[in-house]
Amino acid sequence: MRKSIYNVPEMDCPSEENLIRMKLDGVDGIRQLEFDIENRKLSVIHSDDNTEINKQLESLKLGATLVETKTIDNSDFQSETTGSQSKLLWTVLIINFSFFIIEMTTGFISNSMGLVADSLDMLADAAVYGLSLWAVGTAVTRKKKVATLSGYFQLALAGIGLVEVIRRFIGVVETPDFRMMIVVSVLALIANSVCLYLLQKSKSKEAHMKASMIFTSNDVIINSGVIVAGVLVLLTQSKYPDLIIGAIVFLIVVRGAIRILKLGK
């Protein structure tokens, strides 16, 4: 049995982890994947030398580089249980999808494109978790078809969002409700922190890694950005801070959608 360790610089939240899981699903010889998101490291336990692992990781454009490959005994690792993984994925999926609905609704009510964009980021995460659940016990080809549909759907929503941001930049619109922006974003920040904590806590039990919340993840940065935009709307009484953060988040959603589309290839 061999263990290959990779540095993955752009693996900074559980969404990237699940993208990697789905990309490597079906690669012959892989026995287990161990993720250390905090330190941006991935360990692949496999039966023999497998160049396909490197090829699949490189296709995701996350900057994965092989650090070392070493021989280990079968007793040096424990298999993951599908039941516990499914339960955990359902938990974070429900949290993310619930906040997608909450932020989308309050975004329209408060006239905030920042909240609408953040809701799509939540939807993108929920889609990745849902794809992971769908992949359990199903054929790889079916998983890839669903990934392709999900990617195009997110890409279309983000495109519509960017067009709306441009329209609001040019036209005359009401100033967003900064109170609702800040309150809902704080709640979303808490929800994302809970998801990250649960995922990291689970990995620490099976891979003996440190359980910690990752405050540098994209999701936490995005939530903080909307909060800052809300404060700037209050101070400036201007629509522009909200539109700027909305445009940035929509572009992040586009990047995530493109990564999901790569799973369908």
The domain locations on the chain are: 2-76, 82-263
Residue among 70, 73, 9 at smallest CA distance from 42: 9
Q: Is 243 helix (H, G, I), strand (E, B) or coil?
A: helix
Q: Does domain 2-76 have CATH number 3.30.365.10?
A: no
Concatenating the DSSP letter of every residue in 101-142 gives HHHHHHHHHHT-HHHHHHHHHHHHHHHHHHHHHHHTTS-HHH
| 199 within 8 A of 211, measured Cβ to Cβ | no
- The predicted pLDDT at position 88 comes to 72
How long is the chain? 265
Contact 232, 241 (CB under 8 A): yes
Could you tell me if residue 148 is left (phi over 0), alpha (psi between -120 and 50 degrees) or otherwise beta? alpha
Distance, in Å, from the CA atom of 183 to the CA atom of 214, rounded to the nearest integer, reads: 21
* Comparison of pLDDT for 205 and 31, the residue scoring more: 31
Q: Region 158-176: what's the mean pLDDT?
A: 89
More confident residue, 218 or 81: 218
Q: Which of 250, 17, 42 is nearest to 131 (CA)?
A: 17
pLDDT of 207 over the 70 cut:
no
pLDDT at residue 140, as a whole number = 56
> Mean pLDDT, to the nearest integer, of 239-262?
85
* Amino acid in the structure at residue 125: D
DSSP assigned state of 216 = T
What would the mean pLDDT of 168-195 be, rounded to a whole number? 87
Measuring CA to CA, which residue among 60, 63, 59, 25 is closest to residue 44? 25
Residue 158 near residue 121, CB atoms below 8 Å: no
Rounded to 5 degrees, φ, ψ at 168 are: -75, -30
Confidence of residue 239 (pLDDT cuts 50, 70, 90): very high
Task: List the one residue out of 33, 3, 37, 81 whose CA is nearest residue 199.
Answer: 37
Contact present, 140 and 264 (Cβ < 8 Å):
no
Confidence band of 235 (pLDDT split at 50, 70, 90): very high
The predicted pLDDT at position 264 comes to 60
What value does the CA radius of gyration of the chain take, rounded to a whole number of Å? 19
